[in-house]
């Protein structure tokens, strides 16, 4: 009996999360169960799905995390999928962190900013917003209506009693400036108005502003009334005219799904105060192993459980087997009841159909753009994509090589190609900081340092990583990527003598000796070796000159 089979047969009938792993410890699949024993044993049966049989062919180990309830298991499953991006799970494609609007309501004079990280610091986070350009354009307009401060050095301005440029161009009311004489309650009213606007409750906001304008006019506070009037005019101009689709005026997210082959698209229509105010589109990959209900369930958990603000109602077009469980998990995450609705007719059913049409269009657009891009790729790039079974052509490839002669002055080189052509502007060379001749540790160091620059935006994100070496170098590079990369990236190695492509999964790949894709990889590997060796000679030459000068007396 194998260790994996023994672990499966000894599982308890308790709620929890299970993680199948391969021989190198990588997570292949994450699942949750109300009763672990019954659920996981199903993978041993002959009637298991082909998708799961393939996974079991690679799995060698199993980890489980017991939870108190099935809801906790669902929440943990979503977190682990986002963390590990397992190869056999349905995952949100391009699952990057989308921006939030942050309002530091815990401060006396709250600051408005945009961030991609939600922290438990007492601030109010609104979002996430999937259209970054639209968000920034909207905020430029909104700051004319709600001129909140955005400065980090508020106290410096306050001590100097000197406002910044934003005050002079009327994009900030100047709480740091004594002559502005802005009162805390007036500033808080601006904060409340911005929150109402960004959450789609602009009708409520307009009613409130009109009431305040009338009250100020009645009390003969004409300047305050004029400010409210100007705010109303600007708000009506920014506010897009929308058809009322829900008479109740309640907020809801309407979710539509479309799938084709290994991909699916989900579109969320954002209904706020009874009007459609926006749309979000997300792509899902590796969906061939699930039906429409399972894909939709994975989308809801991965998309919404990563957010801090959820609507009270989600309108779906497909019934979910775990619907009550997902609703309970979303309720716990939101801090208020979340309802999953399945309308059979009426306005909401029409909205679901609209969302599904948008999802189908998004999928068609993706495939059309992919086909257009494919025609622009070099034949060797497309051949490599097919040989490695990659989801997209590896347009940008980066190759790493370590030059280490007895541990003396060890250096590393990174070279890159785009569409099969070398890009010298993306070359980087580094001196190894780690002492001692440990090739694997050196490879990990250079990959992590390079990827830190990728994540900071200094370097573009590669589509494929190539290391000069075999299993050991691949393992070191993968551990470094796990530490530094926010998104998964394919990784291969090229052994020198056999000219064999080493993969993280499966047997080594032996490409034909005249294969254009193999020659492309060889060019990258040889160029990285040349670039690193040249730098190594330079470093050693400098060391010799320094040593000779040190021996000169006087």
Per-chain mean pLDDT for the chain: 84
* Rounded Cα–Cα distance for residues 300 and 260 (Å): 19
> What DSSP string describes 438-489?
-HHHHHHHHHHHHHHHHHHTSSPPPSEEEEESSHHHHHHHHHHHHHH-SS--
Query: Mind listing the pLDDT tens digit for each residue in 496-547?
Result: 777 889 988 778 888 898 899 999 999 999 999 999 988 888 877 765 555 5
Query: Mind listing the pLDDT tens digit for each residue in 106-136?
Result: 888 999 888 877 777 888 887 767 667 777 8
* Mean predicted confidence (pLDDT) in 367-396: 83
Do residues 166 and 111 lie in contact, with contact meaning Cβ atoms separated by under 8 Å?
no
CATH homologous superfamily of domain 381-543? UvrC, RNAse H endonuclease domain (3.30.420.340)
Q: pLDDT grade, residue 246 (50/70/90)?
A: very low
Residues of the chain with CATH 3.30.420.10: 252-371
Cα angle vertex 458, ends 448, 140, to 5°? 130
Give the per-residue pLDDT at 417.
Answer: 94
Q: Is 117 helix (H, G, I), strand (E, B) or coil?
A: coil
What's the sign of the alpha-carbon dihedral 269, 274, 275, 278?
negative
Least confident of 47-56, 432-441, 521-530: 47-56
- Alpha-carbon distances, residue 322 vs 224, 226, 335, 453 (angstroms): 53, 54, 20, 42
Q: Which of 247, 249, 266 is nearest to 258 (CA)?
A: 266
Better-scored residue on pLDDT, 453 or 290: 453
* Mean predicted confidence (pLDDT) in 159-180: 83
User: Looking at the predicted structure, is the pLDDT value of residue 548 above 50?
Assistant: no
The one-character DSSP state at 44 is: G
Q: How many CB atoms lie within 10 A of CB 69?
A: 14
Residues of the chain with CATH 3.40.1440.10: 3-89
User: Looking at the predicted structure, is the pLDDT value of residue 549 above 60?
Assistant: no
Give the per-residue pLDDT at 130.
Answer: 65
Query: Mind listing the pLDDT tens digit for each residue in 177-187?
Result: 877 778 888 89
Q: pLDDT grade, residue 247 (50/70/90)?
A: very low
Better-scored residue on pLDDT, 30 or 91: 30
Q: Is 544 helix (H, G, I), strand (E, B) or coil?
A: helix
Residues of the chain with CATH 3.30.420.340: 381-543
Q: pLDDT grade, residue 242 (50/70/90)?
A: very low
User: Looking at the predicted structure, is the pLDDT value of residue 367 above 80?
Assistant: no
Q: How far apart are the first and last CA of the chain?
A: 76
Q: pLDDT grade, residue 48 (50/70/90)?
A: low
pLDDT above 90 coverage of the chain, percent: 30
Better-scored residue on pLDDT, 138 or 310: 310
Query: Mind listing the pLDDT tens digit for each residue in 261-320?
Result: 788 999 998 887 777 777 888 888 888 767 899 999 999 998 888 777 788 899 999 999
CATH homologous superfamily of domain 3-89? GIY-YIG endonuclease (3.40.1440.10)
Q: pLDDT grade, residue 337 (50/70/90)?
A: very high
Which CATH architecture is the domain 252-371 placed in?
A: 2-Layer Sandwich (3.30)
Q: Is 129 helix (H, G, I), strand (E, B) or coil?
A: coil
């Amino acid at each position: 009996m194998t260790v994996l089979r023994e672990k499966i047969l000894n599982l308890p009938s308790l709620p929890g999360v299970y993680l199948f792993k391969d021989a190198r410890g990588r997570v292949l699949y994450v699942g949750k169960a109300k009763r672990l024993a019954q659920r996981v044993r199903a993978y041993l049966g002959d009637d298991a799905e082909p998708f799961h049989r393939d996974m079991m062919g690679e799995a060698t180990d199993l980890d489980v995390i017991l939870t108190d309830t099935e809801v906790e298991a669902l929440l943990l499953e979503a977190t682990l999928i986002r963390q590990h991006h397992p190869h056999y799970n349905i995952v949100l494609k391009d699952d990057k962190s989308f921006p939030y609007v942050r309002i530091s309501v815990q401060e006396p004079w709250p600051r408005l900013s945009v961030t991609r990280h939600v922290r438990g610091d007492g601030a109010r986070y609104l979002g996430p917003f999937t259209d970054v350009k639209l968000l920034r354009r909207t905020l430029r307009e909104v700051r004319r209506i709600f001129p909140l401060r955005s400065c980090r050095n508020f106290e410096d301005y306050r001590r100097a009693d000197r406002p910044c440029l934003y005050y002079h161009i009327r994009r900030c009311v100047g709480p740091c400036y004594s002559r502005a004489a802005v009162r805390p309650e007036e500033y808080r009213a601006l904060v409340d108005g911005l929150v109402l606007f960004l959450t789609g409750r602009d009708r409520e906001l307009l009613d409130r502003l009109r009431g305040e304008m009338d009250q100020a006019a009645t009390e003969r506070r004409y300047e305050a009334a004029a400010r409210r009037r100007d705010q109303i005019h600007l708000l009506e101009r920014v506010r897009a005219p929308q058809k009322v689709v829900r008479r109740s005026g309640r907020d809801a997210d309407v979710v539509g799904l479309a799938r084709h082959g290994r991909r699916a698209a989900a579109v969320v229509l954002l209904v706020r105060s009874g009007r459609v105010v926006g749309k979000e589109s997300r792509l899902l990959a590796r969906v061939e192993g699930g039906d429409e209900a399972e894909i939709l369930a994975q989308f809801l958990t991965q998309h919404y459980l990563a957010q801090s603000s959820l609507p009270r109602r989600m309108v779906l077009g497909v019934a979910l087997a775990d619907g009550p469980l997902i609703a309970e998990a979303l309720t716990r995450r939101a801090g208020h009841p979340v309802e999953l609705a399945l309308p059979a007719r009426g306005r909401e059913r029409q909205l679901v159909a609209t969302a599904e049409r948008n999802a189908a269009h998004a999928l068609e657009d993706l495939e059309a753009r992919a086909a257009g891009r494919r025609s622009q790729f070099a034949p060797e790039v497309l051949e490599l994509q097919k040989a490695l079974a990659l989801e997209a052509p590896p347009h940008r490839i980066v190759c790493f090589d370590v030059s280490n002669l007895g541990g003396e002055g060890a250096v590393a080189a990174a070279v890159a190609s785009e569409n099969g052509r070398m890009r010298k502007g993306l070359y980087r060379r580094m001196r190894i900081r780690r002492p001692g001749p440990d090739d694997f540790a050196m490879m990990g160091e250079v990959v992590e340092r390079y990827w830190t620059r990728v994540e900071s935006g200094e370097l573009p994100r590669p589509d494929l990583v190539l290391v000069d070496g075999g299993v050991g170098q691949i393992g070191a590079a993968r551990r470094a990527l796990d530490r530094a990369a926010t998104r998964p990236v394919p990784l291969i190695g090229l052994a020198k003598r056999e000219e064999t492509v080493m993969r993280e999964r499966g047997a080594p790949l032996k490409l034909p000796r005249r294969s254009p894709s193999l020659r492309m990889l060889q060019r990258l590997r040889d160029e990285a070796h040349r670039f690193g060796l040249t730098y190594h000679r330079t470093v050693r030459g400098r060391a010799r000159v320094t040593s000779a000068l040190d021996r000169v007396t006087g």
